[in-house]
Structure 1
């Protein structure tokens, strides 16, 4: 039996490596798994006081995640998902909601609950309908991931609070702003003192009704039929029956 010379051996080894690599790619190996990308959603859950040790659940267009907030109400969840996501924080007998357009910082407060009321009004649905439809309704998904719609809705909620309680929020970007004692935290304390937030962390019923009415008066194009999201700013709205 003759031994292979060095050049021929190297050629055969290279060919074997190429075949192995080709087989790995064909079998779906490597980094491309075909699933949603991994990202991190974080923020602060608070109702005036921090919502400490709260259960945070995220339900997304694709994927879901969970976390537990710390003593300061801060949470962080890293998981595979396609946004947007709805966020539910539950702790101490309090349940409040928010949403995340994608990866990044997204708070969970009575203001974000009110923001969902406003956007639900724009979409011709309720908060419950918005939360349950996030994985299947294209119109809901579009609205909750559209930066212009979100910014306009936050501005409308801030205006509603100013018109109703003569309280000017430190920032209209309350969904994503970093919490500080003189900023977002102080805003919630001021709203509590004005009885705009109830003991269970919810905006008062009259404020919820006004937010829903204001949203209804500024509908997002396409409504709940899956069209594009191009909603404008709304007025202060009126009062009516609260339906969550």
Structure 2
């Protein structure tokens, strides 16, 4: 009888371990970030050729170099959102990716971050520094409605300030090729009109206006109706 009890006890022990392991997997414990691809174009009108592209995410990081057309692509394990920084000589531009897919790096994406910073009650540098760690910022930058509304607001600000109507308000995720009509031609026009400086940055007055416009339309941690989004062509690697 004692032998039976010992065997029964060992069976219960193994069963408990198996159940605990199953529960851990179900809750995501011990798991790793999914592997996915972020790609896009870095440009200021002219392509940012051979630019260093750094991706710093909620979980995970990656780096790559753009080609002669400013196109970049990196496949790595991550959870979004990710800060994307393109560096080419003296030009440093920022953007972000909610998850996998197409995400560009241009003066317009830098301006978009300024607007979102205003909405979140911080500065551009504060938002950039907090993307990988601040849950409130992360919620906003993975919310499709928040992002689309911010893009529309930036497009309206440009139209009211410079009289330029962008070819698309989806400048963060639209696929484009430098030197071609469309999104790249928009950048050329804005540079000619003084909205973009010779260093590839939004004009200081425009950047300040974007922060002020964002502050006038605050959001609370990206809680506006919407859903977590990936860029054009994918949803993998989105933030959780």
Q: TM-score if structure 2 supplies the norm length?
A: 0.79
- The residue that corresponds to 1:201 in the other structure is 200
Counterpart pick for 1:143 among 140, 145, 165: 140
Counterpart pick for 2:224 among 221, 224, 230: 230
Secondary structure (helix, strand or coil) at the match of 2:86 reads strand
What is the count of residue pairs matched by the alignment? 199
- The residue that corresponds to 2:102 in the other structure is 105
Secondary structure (helix, strand or coil) at the match of 1:88 reads strand
Larger radius of gyration: 1
Q: TM-score if structure 1 supplies the norm length?
A: 0.78
Secondary structure (helix, strand or coil) at the match of 1:128 reads helix
Secondary structure (helix, strand or coil) at the match of 1:150 reads helix
Counterpart pick for 1:96 among 93, 97, 100: 93
Residues 44 and 123 of structure 1: is their aligned pair in 2 closer, same or farther, counting only changes over 3 Å?
A: same
Aligned counterparts of 1:41 and 1:183: Cα–Cα separation in 2: 22
The Cα of 1:231 is off from its aligned counterpart by: 8.5
Instruction: After the TM superposition, list the runs of 4 or more consecutive aligned residues in structure 1 that deviate by more than 2 angstroms.
Output: none
Asked whether the 8 Å contact 1:58–1:86 carries over to 2, the reply is yes
Asked whether the 8 Å contact 1:52–1:73 carries over to 2, the reply is yes
Q: Structure 2: which 5+ residue stretches go unaligned?
A: 1-17, 23-28, 227-240
Asked whether the 8 Å contact 1:218–1:231 carries over to 2, the reply is no
Instruction: Kindly report which structure 2 residues correspond to 1:176-187, keeping only aligned pairs within 5 A, or say none.
Output: 176-180=173-177, 181-187=180-186
Asked whether the 8 Å contact 2:115–2:210 carries over to 1, the reply is yes
Instruction: Kindly report which structure 2 residues correspond to 1:154-173, keeping only aligned pairs within 5 A, or say none.
Output: 154-173=151-170
Pair 1:36 & 2:38 matched: no
The Cα of 1:41 is off from its aligned counterpart by: 0.3
- The residue that corresponds to 1:216 in the other structure is 215
Secondary structure (helix, strand or coil) at the match of 1:107 reads coil
The Cα of 1:229 is off from its aligned counterpart by: 2.6
Q: Structure 1: which 5+ residue stretches go unaligned?
A: 1-21, 27-31, 222-226, 233-244
